[in-house]
Structure 1
Amino acid sequence: MTVAAKQQNNLQIATIYGILVAISAGHFFNDSIQAVVPAMFPILEKTLNLNYSQIGWIAFMVNMTSSVMQPVFGYYADKRSTPFLLPFGMFMTMVGLIGFGLSPNFFVILCSVFFIGIGSAVFHPEGSRVAYMAAGNKRGLAQSIYQVGGNFGQSLAPVFTAFIFVPFGQKGVLSFVMVAMIGIIILSFVSNWYKGQIAVGVKKAKKKVAEVVQKSVHPKLKTAMILLVFIVFARSWYSAGISNFYQFYLIDDYGLSIKQAQIFIFIFMIAGVIGTFLGGPLADRFGKRNIILFSLIGAAPLTLILPYVPLLLVVPLFFLIGFIITSSFSVTVVYAQELMPQKIGMVSGLIVGFAFGMGAIGAVLYGTLADIFSIKFVMIFCSFLPLLGLLTLFLPSDEKVRRLNEEH
């Protein structure tokens, strides 16, 4: 089925909350399993004697495969939707999960996280499309509901470390196989609905297919997409530094235990969940570009002082930074979809996938810098990244995006 037929079906007014909750749950299961990988870093460092560079390469493998491949699967889905890629992606993740739990060395771990990453890459573009199809006229809210499931799953990484992997070690990973199986069941239900929507969309859109297919993208919107990817790329580098290495900074510079460090990371992550959920509705009210700008420039003063504050101030700063910087998480996806409404799957994969995958390169760089200099040096470097949010001022306003789409 063509992209035009699918998009005509998406013009529905009603928001289908049941499907949004279901796909959000699938997103939760997918990303909570992916969060197992960084959650295991403190354990693997000790049990397999890994250095920071090797940890960076593990983060690189899972993030690069899960992210860079997303636009590829999204492009394919724009040409021909395959609803049952959703449970298939979860199955691939489950295979990688089993291998990760049984991995005896660094190289087997890399192979295992490759499968986890590919499973995630298969899931995300079609997950974003389902959220778009079920959104009705509340695209910001719908994308927030979808994304908050994933962010909440990611936020549980420090909980997994403290209560599962510290007491049970690497074998504790195998307990997540049941989570993957539940995810497969839920996503099979969503896929059945998705398949029905495609059938309905074919009948509704036959007369308008040629009109939408021939409509090209305005050059200014293409430029805006490139700039948006770079902005998300900068935000991803900051998040990669916090999620993968700040726990080591807390341990080395503040003298915390592994379990104590996870509490701080969890605060940052759970604040991000709240920010993700509220960011969409706020963008519907105040504008998407404004929220994207606020999420980075608003967080910059706080990120700049974070490496220098006493432990007592880390918690409130962490909460505020997590909330503010993640408030544009779902908003950037919706903004990208409105820049290029003819390519929903590809741009969703580009923003959620490729741009975040660049954070994987950051993880390798951070690991190398930490081995050469120190963890504190990495944290100071990260603190300047939100300042790149000033580039948002060069993005077209929401109204201008709509006008350019209508004119071209």
Structure 2
Amino acid sequence: MPKNKTIIMLSAGHACVDVYQGAVAALLPFLVAERAYTYAAASGIVLAASLLSSVAQPLFGALTDRWALPWLLPVSTLLAGLGMALSGLSGSYPLTLALAAVSGIGIAAYHPESARVARIASEGSHTAMGWFSLGGNLGFAAAPLLVAAVVAVGGLRLTPLLAVPALVGSLLYLPVLRAPGGPARPAGGASPAGREDMVSFVRLSLAVTCRSVVFAGLSTFGALYVPARTGGGTAAGTAALSVLYLGGAAGTVLGGRLADRWDRVRVVRVSYLVSVAAVAGVVFVPGPMIYLFTALACLGLYVPFSLQVTLAQDYLPARVGTAGGVTLGLAVSVGGLSVPLIGAVADATSLQAALTPLVAMPALSWLLLRTLREPAGP
């Protein structure tokens, strides 16, 4: 299968999986409205989706470094969709948590193998990896609209309709898996073996984790925070989530373009500095301007997104599955672990007070990367 066609198919499949990461946050306002959840209880659902995902992703990454497991792509896509599709059918809080966890495991199984397959298909192109990452961002962006279209019409009882992207995504992967000499080749075939730089990989992973805390906080509580700052209702919150996710999609494409002109590490560092001011605007500036700062914050947070994946894979050239699983999955999922703490602080004080520490997180990412260098060649 031609490289461009393969990347497009992988990107579309990525969108069908990451729609379920965005759907968790998009469902929260409806769960709060129908089931009277507190901030802490609502954020516990995000924790359930993130916790098992965070634990499982390094394991799946290690497996994909040892064996090529392309069948994981359609299977994990279906699992991610199944958990989220069934989450609205029961008023039981523990069952809702369990179904969110099932969806999180599906997402965990997907990312390491998808990063390995995309790296093979991209043939080392940063721009191609950017397009692959773009698919996930578009899935995030579509999640609020999909959830609103389904749940706002018929309530949580219609959440089984959310399984449609999973069904589509699993079918999209079939031509990719059948392509001769494609993802079924040995897992190490995407990158030449070279010297590992574990110290730089750890610093990069910590920076991605700080970034994910910001994104998790904004995506989880943005739909609840923006209406209070603008005087709007649930629609205002849904619009803010769409701006947040669409800004991420634009940032991913921009990151790939910038990396063709300047080195990746420089682009990542500058992006995090921009994010500090943008997140401060989201938290402190009232009125409609919050939408502008939301878009700028997501641009700053997502310009580094695909660049961090390829940097990590180049720091661990013999373990691209692990590297991709950590930066594309684990470090992102870990951000969800901070959400219950943010929710508890919001219940005790105010949502603005709980979101204020997020301003410091991109600054920490910049500090971690301040002296980072481009990976050495093999």
**TM-score normalised to structure 1 length:** 0.87
Which deviates further from its counterpart, 264-273 or 252-261?
252-261
Task: Please report how far the alpha carbon of residue 216 of structure 1 lies from its aligned counterpart in structure 2 after TM superposition.
Answer: 5.4
> Quick one: structure 1 residues 147 and 68, their matched pair in 2 at CA, closer, same or farther if it must change by over 3 Å?
farther
Counterparts of 1:176 and 1:162, CA distance in 2: 11
Counterpart check, 1:27 vs 2:14: yes
Instruction: Work out the CA distance in 2 between the residues paired with 1:249 and 1:148.
Output: 26
Distance in 2 separating the partners of 1:136 and 1:392? 26
Q: Matched residues in 2 for 1:257 and 1:294: separation? A: 35
> Which runs of structure 2 are paired with 1:34-49 in the superposition (5 Å)?
34-49=21-36
CA distance in 2, matches of 1:61, 1:284: 38
User: Between Structure 1 and Structure 2, how many residues are aligned?
Assistant: 376
Contact 1:30–1:150 (8 Å) recurs in 2 = yes
Rounded Cα–Cα distance in structure 2 between residues aligned with 1:151 and 1:325? 12
Provide the residue aligned with 2:298 in structure 1: 322
Structure 1 CA distance for aligned equivalents of residues 167 and 124 of structure 2: 33
Is 2:170 the partner of 1:184? yes
Q: Report whether the alignment pairs 1:197 with 2:197.
A: no
**Cα distance change of structure 1 residues 290 and 267 upon mapping to structure 2, 3 Å threshold:** same
**1:173 matched to which residue of 2?**
159
TM-aligned CA deviation for residue 64 of structure 1: 2.4
Q: Structure 1, residues 34-56: CA drift from partner, whole Å, max 9, x if none?
A: 32221110010121121111111
Pick from 177, 192, 200: which aligns with 1:224? Answer: 200
Alignment of 1:212-291 (within 5 A): 212=193, 217=196, 221-291=197-267
Contact 2:195–2:317 (8 Å) recurs in 1: no
Q: Is the 8 A contact 2:176 2:182 kept in 1?
A: no
Question: Which segment is superposed worse, 309-318 or 148-157?
Answer: 309-318
User: How far 1:160 moved relative to its partner?
Assistant: 2.9
Q: What is the Cα deviation at residue 334 of structure 1?
A: 0.5
The change in CA–CA distance for 1:305 and 1:180 in structure 2 (over 3 A counts) is: closer
* Contact kept in structure 2, 1:52 and 1:370, CA below 8 Å: yes
| 8 Å contact from structure 1 (residues 63, 357) kept in 2 | yes
Q: Indicate whether 1:159 and 2:136 are aligned.
A: no
The alignment's C-alpha RMSD in Å is 2.2
Matched position secondary structure for 2:87: helix
Aligned residue identity for 2:88:
G
Mapped partners of 1:250, 1:198: distance in 2: 43
> Aligned partners of 2:220, 2:300: CA distance in 1, in Å?
19
SS in 2 for 1:120: helix
**Corresponding position of 2:79:** 92
Query: What SS is found at the alignment partner of 1:83?
Result: coil
Query: Which residue number corresponds to residue 268 of structure 2?
Result: 292
Which shifted more, 156-165 or 269-278?
156-165
Against the structure 1 CA distance between its residues 101 and 393, is the aligned structure 2 distance closer, same or farther, given a 3 Å change threshold? same
Q: Deviations over 1:115-141 (max 9, x none)?
A: 111111111111111110011241x11
Q: Among 42, 45, 49, which residue is 1:58 paired with?
A: 45
Identity %: 26
- Give secondary structure in 2 for the equivalent of 1:81: coil
5+ long unaligned stretches in structure 1: 1-13
Work out the CA distance in 1 between the residues paired with 2:183 and 2:334. 33
Compute the TM-score of the two structures, normalised by the length of structure 2: 0.93
Which runs of 5 or more structure 2 residues have no equivalent in the other structure? none
The match for 1:147 is 133
Alignment of 1:291-310 (within 5 A): 291-310=267-286
Deviation larger for 92-101 or 365-374: 92-101
Q: CA deviation at 1:146?
A: 0.8
Please say if residues 307 and 380 of structure 1, whose CA atoms lie closer than 8 Å, have aligned partners that are also in contact: yes
The 2-side partners of 1:73 and 1:42 are apart by 32
Corresponding position of 2:368: 391
2:109 alignment counterpart? 122
Q: 1:198 to 1:149 in 2, by over 3 A?
A: closer
Q: Report deviation, 1:161.
A: 4.2
1:199 positional shift: 6.4
Deviation at 1:191, TM superposition (A): 2.0
CA distance in structure 2 between the aligned counterparts of 1:311 and 1:350, rounded to whole angstroms: 37
- Of 351, 354, 377, the match for 1:375: 351
Specify the alignment match of 1:8 in structure 2: none
Q: Which residue of 2 aligns with 1:73?
A: 60
Paired position in structure 2 for 1:9: none
